[in-house]
Amino acid sequence: MKSDRYLIVFLSVAVLGVLFVGCRPKMDMMSKAEKAFVKMVDKTAGELNLSEDQKIQLERLKLDIRKNFQEGQIEKKEALVNIKEEGIKEISDIRKMTSLLQGLFRAETERINRAFDLMVEFQKNLNEDQKKKLNQMISEWVAKWE
């Protein structure tokens, strides 16, 4: 009975340690993803010769991308607080902590998918020549994967 309690405490401490060491850097996944998406949008837009109206829509897109990931960072902080609160209880619920952590990973994935959706939505602002150029750029980018 005593060894089970030590095992639970050890696992709790290990999970929390990994969580806080892994999440400690100031540059988390949400920040990296936000910067990568904005950089990709800027680089791509620079080659499409956008009109003034399209440039305004592009700025809105970048704001929406930033808002998406900033909301994700807030959700992440809240989830980490919940995990921490559970972890400091005398008898921590490992399953609850694991569930919260899994939800956190799912939320990050959903935020990345949302950013892609925003970019696809922006394509409606492009004319046919720009869409062709964009498709060509994407094809060339994908060809480099091999």
Q: Encode pLDDT of 75-95 as tens digits.
A: 888 888 888 888 888 888 888
Q: Encode pLDDT of 5-48 as tens digits.
A: 666 766 666 666 666 655 544 557 778 888 888 888 888 888 88
34 class by beta-carbon count within 10 Å (0-12 exposed, 13-18 middle, 19+ buried)? buried
Q: Name the pTM for this structure.
A: 0.71
Domain locations along the chain = 2-143
Residue 65 CB neighbour total at 10 angstroms: 24
Examine the pLDDT at 112 and tell me if it is beyond 80. Answer: yes
